[in-house]
Structure 1
Amino acid sequence: MTDSKNVGIITKPLGSGGTVPVSNLVDILASVSGQVFIVTSNEGANLNPKKNEKIIINSFHYEYRTDVFGKIFENFSLQTRISFSILQQRKNINTWVFFLDSHVFILPVIVAKILGNKLVFPLAASIKGSAKAQNNWLNNLLILFESITFIFADRIILYSENLIRDWDLTPYSSKIIIAHRHFLDFNTFTVIALFSGRSPIIGYIGRLSREKGVLNFTQALPAILSEQQDLRVVLGGDGQLMEAIETSLQEDGIAARVDLPGWISRDNLSGYLNQMRLIVLPSYSEGLPNIMLEAMACGTLVLATPVGAIPDVIIDGKTGFIMENNSPECIAENVKRALDSPDLEQIAENGRRFVEENFTFERVVERWKKVQKDL
């Protein structure tokens, strides 16, 4: 991936929430490479809103199926189409970046390797961590596929050295480069409402899925709300656990104090974050979550589990708060600890300054220029 060389990006099928990390990566690669060719699905068709001539998108429709055989068929069909795109671009592209778990697409990985392409895997999350949270045989199969595709990888890009140990990647240490692709638009993500003037609101914003630990947070709410009579909660996002969350809130008699706005658009995200005093990220597995950085830029406190690259950003009591695990009891205890802290405003300000200093587009591009020299 040298200057003026073309690069290809493969993604899994994208929903609304997946476009932001891919869009960031595309902007970075367009700045350090030649043409960027994207093979994606669904919402990925909208990755080039500014009509940058360097960016070409080949997008498919992927149908989400609930039955096992339907899932297998759709996945195999998608991998076949991706492989065909790689074959079509064999004279134009010699480096393929498999992003957002697409490195488990074993067929296109093998096709690209047979063609002599360099393969780069920027890992956004742990397949093993997600599989443990989901606990089904299909996700366990992905662990096997990942172990195979890692053999073919030329470079594995992580957000933090901590992830080498956390994600059991020590056998691949010689292939690993540390670099993140996170940068923020600080005109959008900024402090609109001063922390001292915010209502007592806490929340969660993200995908409503098991690996995010959001059900654990929901189960912690009765204890949290019983001690904080004026507290309200926002649970923003959509996903497979929406119905279970709604049922839990009704059964616990707290639905009236919890707002469920559904998926929050990028245009409205800063407004929601500026309402909150505290956002809770109780994930089982993470890379470097965008919502954490966006919240900090808006002057919102973050309480998170010490997974992925989060401990590189959140220093407990300094730039945010860390909880030992994501059990409902631990979440409730640490929400109280955070809200009772006498230094809330200073901690929020420390967090805001940290992201403004470390997550600009210019700093990220400089790091990726060094990455490309290693390829």
Structure 2
Amino acid sequence: MMPKSVCIVMYGGPFDIVSHRLYQRLKILSSLVSQVYLIIEGMPKLNDIPPNIIIYDISSPKRFFSYIKAIFTLAKVCKQSDVVIFITGFPKIVTFVMQARLAKKKVISFAGGTAYKVFKARNPNSRIISKIVYILESLCFWLSDLILVENYESTRFLGLDKYISKIFPLGTLVYLNESFFKKYKKPSLRENIVGYIGRIEPEKNVISIIKSALHTIKKIRDIQFIIYGSGSQRDYLVNYVDTHSLEQYVKIMDWIPYEKVPEVLQNLKVLIHPSHTEGLPLTVLEAMSKGTIVITTPVGGLPEIIKDGSTGFIVRSGSPRDIANKLIDVLNLPPDELDRISKNAYVLVKSKYSLKKGISLWKKMLENLMGENA
């Protein structure tokens, strides 16, 4: 049995840089249920929104008023929804989760990462507040009927084993359109361009990519590092490049429009993803779909798809020297070996993370959830 109506809650916006992800979620859900409600703080501009979607943008100049608006809006929408899905805003949304439970609605929480680990990475000395964040986030998961994760590897990394009976491995919240799998180009035919695409925040550990360049260029001179993104550490990266005279080898670029991501990825030989904490980052899947070699830390759900030497490469510590050593080894591999690994990754993501596969998983997840009432 499928629910008739679903409410999605996204708090902590704006969400302009992930508008493509939001659009796909709305399209998937609107194709499966009669009515979709979206409560969001900071609605990005989207075209061709399906007619069975009603949007409530709770944005306000003052965060407090956004929070109050969310409470009243959720109270209204809960009366008309069978299921409430919380995607972002943990642990601040614990009040909303409790509200949905009190309204006797089915509650789903998405654990793409943990607010606790992100907060700890950004504030390593705030132990007491970190503990409070952990408790509130745990309460959100405890109150949920279902917890969505990318895969079971994510469950272990995020410390959600105790909720195993509630876990549903959704693969990812966003899937790859067929267009991503077109124009495959062997990495052996590409120049030595190494890149990163994403947020530039402490937990993403982007600075280690820049620092790794200092070691890498001693062994490989014909190489270029390009960082695409924005965030609190962007200026720090720019200053580091200037201070260490790396301008010839490292470029810090602005965030790129989503429609240009396939082209950018196809020009990279290697994508480095050195995060301290993750779920299953979409950029990695997109890189694999374009044949780009991925080097990543073993965090979140990544070890389940990146098998060292088979579908990509794992760098254990994420330190600059370890990244540099791994990158040098990868770039010195025989061309046919690089192409083999690239093709393995391409085949994997096409079989597991296509949009068609995503729709079937969302359908199965909702049927399982509502089946508990049957």
| TM norm structure 2 | 0.91
What secondary structure, in the 3-state scheme, does the structure 1 residue paired with 2:294 have? strand
| Equivalent residue, structure 2, for 1:220 | 212
Aligned residue among 96, 99, 124 for 2:84: 96
Whole-angstrom distance in 2 between the partners of 1:214 and 1:190: 29
2:272 and 2:296 in contact (8 A); partners too: yes
User: What does 1:1-375 align with in structure 2 at a 5 Å threshold?
Assistant: 2-3=1-2, 5-12=4-11, 13-42=13-42, 44-46=43-45, 48-61=46-59, 74=63, 76-102=64-90, 104-135=92-123, 137=126, 141-180=132-171, 181-188=173-180, 190-191=182-183, 193-342=185-334, 343-375=337-369
Greater Cα offset, 313-322 or 14-23 = 14-23
What secondary structure, in the 3-state scheme, does the structure 1 residue paired with 2:333 have? coil
Q: Report the CA distance between 1:244 and its aligned residue.
A: 0.5
| Equivalent residue, structure 1, for 2:372 | none
Whole-angstrom distance in 1 between the partners of 2:237 and 2:214: 13
Q: Report the CA distance between 1:102 and its aligned residue.
A: 4.2
Q: In the alignment, residue 8 of structure 2 is paired with which amino acid?
A: I
Q: What per-residue deviation string (whole Å, max 9, x for no partner) do you get for residues 233-291 of structure 1?
A: 11000010011001111111102321222101112111111111000000001111100
| Equivalent residue, structure 2, for 1:70 | none
Gaps of at least 5 residues in structure 2 are 370-374
Whole-angstrom distance in 1 between the partners of 2:114 and 2:333: 32
What secondary structure, in the 3-state scheme, does the structure 2 residue paired with 1:222 have? helix
1:214 and 1:282 in contact (8 A); partners too: yes
1:101 and 1:124 in contact (8 A); partners too: no
1:131 and 1:140 in contact (8 A); partners too: no
Give the root-mean-square deviation of aligned CA atoms: 1.9
Q: Report the CA distance between 1:4 and its aligned residue.
A: 5.3
What secondary structure, in the 3-state scheme, does the structure 1 residue paired with 2:179 have? coil
Residue 194 and residue 171 in structure 1: after superposition, are their counterparts in 2 closer, same or farther (change >3 A)?
closer
Residue 158 and residue 333 in structure 1: after superposition, are their counterparts in 2 closer, same or farther (change >3 A)?
same
Whole-angstrom distance in 1 between the partners of 2:361 and 2:38: 22
1:235 and 1:260 in contact (8 A); partners too: yes
- How many pairs are equivalent? 362
1:6 and 1:34 in contact (8 A); partners too: yes
Whole-angstrom distance in 2 between the partners of 1:196 and 1:170: 41
| TM norm structure 1 | 0.91
1:184 and 1:361 in contact (8 A); partners too: yes
1:103 and 1:121 in contact (8 A); partners too: no
Whole-angstrom distance in 2 between the partners of 1:254 and 1:140: 39
What secondary structure, in the 3-state scheme, does the structure 1 residue paired with 2:300 have? coil
Whole-angstrom distance in 2 between the partners of 1:7 and 1:122: 15
Q: Report the CA distance between 1:55 and its aligned residue.
A: 1.5
Whole-angstrom distance in 1 between the partners of 2:250 and 2:181: 24
Whole-angstrom distance in 2 between the partners of 1:87 and 1:258: 50
Q: In the alignment, residue 33 of structure 2 is paired with which amino acid?
A: S
1:203 and 1:235 in contact (8 A); partners too: yes
2:82 and 2:106 in contact (8 A); partners too: yes
Q: What per-residue deviation string (whole Å, max 9, x for no partner) do you get for residues 138-194 of structure 1?
A: 655432221222221111111111222211112222221221233112314533654
What secondary structure, in the 3-state scheme, does the structure 1 residue paired with 2:174 have? coil
Q: In the alignment, residue 366 of structure 1 is paired with which amino acid?
A: S
Residue 103 and residue 131 in structure 1: after superposition, are their counterparts in 2 closer, same or farther (change >3 A)?
closer
Q: Report the CA distance between 1:300 and its aligned residue.
A: 0.6
Residue 250 and residue 125 in structure 1: after superposition, are their counterparts in 2 closer, same or farther (change >3 A)?
same
Identity %: 25
Q: Report the CA distance between 1:226 and its aligned residue.
A: 2.2
Gaps of at least 5 residues in structure 1 are 64-72
1:202 and 1:278 in contact (8 A); partners too: yes
What secondary structure, in the 3-state scheme, does the structure 2 residue paired with 1:89 have? helix
Q: In the alignment, residue 120 of structure 2 is paired with which amino acid?
A: K
Q: In the alignment, residue 40 of structure 1 is paired with which amino acid?
A: I
Whole-angstrom distance in 2 between the partners of 1:103 and 1:94: 23
Whole-angstrom distance in 2 between the partners of 1:249 and 1:110: 47
